[in-house]
Structure 1
Amino acid sequence: MAQHSEHSSNVDLDEIDRIIIDELVANARISNATLAQRAGIAPSTALLRTRSLVERGILTGYHAEVALGTVGRTVQALISVKLRAHDREKIDTFVERIPSLPEVLSMFHVSGGTDYLLHIAVGSTDHLRDWVLDNLATDESVGHTETTLVFAHHRGNRGPLPSDDMLS
């Protein structure tokens, strides 16, 4: 599985780029004609601009989002993981194995007292308990875990921040 890492860089985005990004973040299935209309440009220009955003690594993919509860994944949790030792081989094995498990929605490498934060979704609290026992508690590289149940998830802004001139 390919590893995705976000690196910050100062990429110049003009107003048209920002409109295209905002529209695609809101609805990745928007037609090119509608996208062009909302950006105030020709459809051929919208297509070229969108391709440029992909080639520049600004748009990294398009996806479908599943309502997890409708497919039996009604329990979500955030699990803090502190590794026992910081051995590169064990870390690499952990980082390769955990995100590939079907229950894992996201894995974050974080600073502070925790090394990793996992976001998982399962069918029940019993499944959650068993998952932690089977995949973390029995892993020799894991020293400590702490599980927090998610009651609600509210998605934030997934597009770029407004530019300074857009704020005034």
Structure 2
Amino acid sequence: MTLDRIDFELVQLLRKNARLPNKELAERAGIAPSTALERVRRLRQSGVLLGYHAEIAPIAIGIGLQAMVSVRLARHSRELLDSFHAHLQQLPEVLAFYHVAGADDFLVHVGVRDSAHLRDFALASFTERHEVAHIETKLIFEFRRNVELPTGPLDAPGLA
């Protein structure tokens, strides 16, 4: 799907506040509410908009400590990669993960109660797994999500 300036504006507005009522979304984008509704529907159906998420205060759900765990696999194969990927997806402490290039294979964002929980989680979930060769843990002191999109509508490929 090729995004035009209006589509990009709608995506930017929803990135900043996915709970904007359609009337306000349309007003801010300078289009009719019916046009906004149809364009957002089309953006969802085409896979540009993947979902809407609530940002939750970690402490409210018992997360007192967050960390990024760099994971290096022992060897590389599709089977090993798929197995580790599935393992990460079933761990409730894993907030997000990234399969990356470079010295490490995964960056895993975890949320735990405290340092003892982090130690136990790292041992059980990473170091005791046969596919993991090395981990390195970095504590996260602060996390902020950037609501701005990285490119403008005329700079991004696929935008008209």
> In the alignment, is residue 19 of structure 1 matched against residue 9 of structure 2?
yes
Question: Residue 98 of structure 2 aligns to which amino acid in structure 1?
Answer: F
Aligned with 2:67: secondary structure?
strand
Residue deviations 1:14-53 (CA, integer Å, cap 9, x gap): 2211221111111111111111111111111110010111
Q: Which of these residues, 64, 68, 72, is aligned with residue 58 of structure 2?
A: 68
Larger relative contact order (Cα-Cα within 8 Å, sequence gap ≥ 6): 2
Are 2:25 and 2:36, in contact at CA under 8 Å, matched by a contact in 1? yes
Q: 1:6 — aligned with what?
A: none
> In the alignment, is residue 107 of structure 1 matched against residue 101 of structure 2?
no
> In the alignment, is residue 139 of structure 1 matched against residue 129 of structure 2?
yes
Moved over 6 A (4+): none
> In the alignment, is residue 38 of structure 1 matched against residue 67 of structure 2?
no
Q: Unaligned 5+ residue runs, structure 1?
A: 1-10
Aligned-pair distance for 1:160? 5.4
Change (3 A) 1:151 1:160: closer
Question: Residue 118 of structure 1 aligns to which amino acid in structure 2?
Answer: V
Aligned with 1:33: secondary structure?
helix
Question: Residue 23 of structure 1 aligns to which amino acid in structure 2?
Answer: L
Q: 2:83 — aligned with what?
A: 93
Aligned with 1:85: secondary structure?
coil
CA RMSD of aligned residues (A): 1.5
C-alpha separation in 2, matches of 1:41 and 1:67: 34
Q: Taking structure 2 as the reference length, what is the TM-score of the superposition?
A: 0.90
Q: 1:4 — aligned with what?
A: none
C-alpha separation in 2, matches of 1:156 and 1:36: 23
The percent of aligned pairs where both chains have the same amino acid is 45
Number of aligned pairs? Answer: 155
Question: Residue 130 of structure 2 aligns to which amino acid in structure 1?
Answer: E
Q: Taking structure 1 as the reference length, what is the TM-score of the superposition?
A: 0.86
Are 2:70 and 2:108, in contact at CA under 8 Å, matched by a contact in 1? yes
